[in-house]
Amino acid sequence: MAKSDVSLHLRSYGDEGKHHSHGHHQLVLPLLGKLSLFVDQTEGAVERNRAAIIPSGSDHGYSASDQNRFLVADVPEILAPALERLPFFVELDSALLHYIQFLHSQLVNGAGSSHTEHQMLLLLIQLLQERHGDKLNLDRRVSTAKQFIDDNFHKKIITAELAAVAHLSIRQLNELFRKQIGMTPHHYLTELRMQESWRLLEQSDLNIQRIADSVGYSSLSSFSDRFSRHFGKSPSHFRRKSK
């Protein structure tokens, strides 16, 4: 596994696995059934609305019965050092569960590129850290820029404006943001827009032009092109699936 690679797999487990450890963090996300886990002598389970976070180097073993299936993400330490500060077992709210189902559909259908998979997993890690961690102890300037994107992703955001809000040069902002968040401000903004537009396509009755407007795209063609490159399918494909 390369230092910068994140990989996502579908796995099912048998009755019992030997205790072992590995040199990367691992996320075990629920799809079907129950997986009992022991992580550094802490006992818990992955099921329904609970996930496991196994830090790099932690001794762990498992047992499972009946039919089961899980999404397992292998995450290099360098990409998400804050994962080791999270609890071994965490609750998943409806938004996180919906996101996991989307990752599953992308993996099964082969709709996304490896770059898209990488970015989506980084955003999932970010969401887990925000819900269950110390709010990452981000540099104040990075935190200011991130909050500005979170609050205004439905509007046009100019990089120079974002840098001014953070009191950084564009180069400094890109470097600090990438180091602490795992992606550039532009990639983070795009990911938020794409995930919100996918959610609206599946859960709302807004037409595609209205959805494009609501996530910051005044041009329907620009939105459709960006969406298709990001997910490997057009917006109308997801709209048809939701009906």
How far apart are the C-alpha atoms of 146 and 76, rounded to whole Å?
Answer: 23
Sequence-distant (6+) residues with CB within 8 A of 221 are none
Written as six digits, the tokens of 74 are 């292998």
What is the predicted pLDDT for the residue at 243? 53
How far apart are the C-alpha atoms of 121 and 99, rounded to whole Å?
Answer: 10
What is the predicted pLDDT for the residue at 167? 96
What the chain holds in terms of domains, given with CATH numbers, is 7-110 (2.60.120.10), 138-243 (1.10.10.60)
Contact 2, 114 (CB under 8 A): no
How far apart are the C-alpha atoms of 152 and 241, rounded to whole Å?
Answer: 29
What is the predicted pLDDT for the residue at 160? 95
What is the predicted pLDDT for the residue at 124? 81
What is the predicted pLDDT for the residue at 112? 55
* Helix/strand/coil percent split, the chain, to 5: 50, 20, 30
Question: Beta partners for 206?
Answer: none
What is the predicted pLDDT for the residue at 212? 95
- The whole-angstrom distance between residue 221's C-alpha and the CA centroid of its chain comes to 26
pLDDT along the chain (243 residues), means of 10: 70 83 93 93 93 93 89 85 84 84 80 64 77 70 93 93 96 90 86 85 88 94 90 79 54
pTM greater than the 0.75 cutoff: no
**Residue 129: phi, psi to the nearest 5?**
-65, -40
